[in-house]
Amino acid sequence: MRRELHSLLKKEIDDSATPQETRRVAEILEFLDRDDEARSWWKKAALKGDQDALDYLHVLDAENEEKLSACCGREREQADEAFRSFVSAFACSPLLIADRLDSALGEAGVRMPEGSQNLVREIEDFLTHLDHTTGGPRC
């Protein structure tokens, strides 16, 4: 196979290779698991008029499209899961944050204005009693 590849590449250098010989270079490279290099040789063979090479390029393109779709689908699922995890991590934390803030302010001798305290209580109540239109309770 090495000798064949050497002979075919020499013909390519001399610009005397047939489209089928160019395709054979692609086949050998693919056999050697050099898919990226093989793809460029498939293209060369197709440009030289080798119909089999052109057909095979269409197959490779379809396979790449399928891989890309599958990959994007998994990434989308992972992103959705990460987002749900991120949101759920913060769903109950406003209560904790409010408690920590209140205790920190108390330790510092600072009292929140009554209006701010009422707003915090309203938000806490809303977060602990979410209705079905907001996705239900999170805690």
Where b means 16+ CB within 10 Å and e means fewer, 24-50 reads bbbbbbbeeeeeeebbebbbbbbebeb
Average pLDDT along the chain:
78
The model's pTM: 0.49
**Cα–Cα distance for residue pair 51/42, rounded to 1 Å:** 10
Query: What contacts 94, CB < 8 A, 6 or more positions away?
Result: 123, 124, 127
**Cα–Cα distance for residue pair 108/104, rounded to 1 Å:** 6
Higher pLDDT, 69 or 131: 69
Tens of pLDDT along 66-105?
877 776 667 667 766 776 666 565 555 556 666 776 777 7
Amino acid at site 68: L
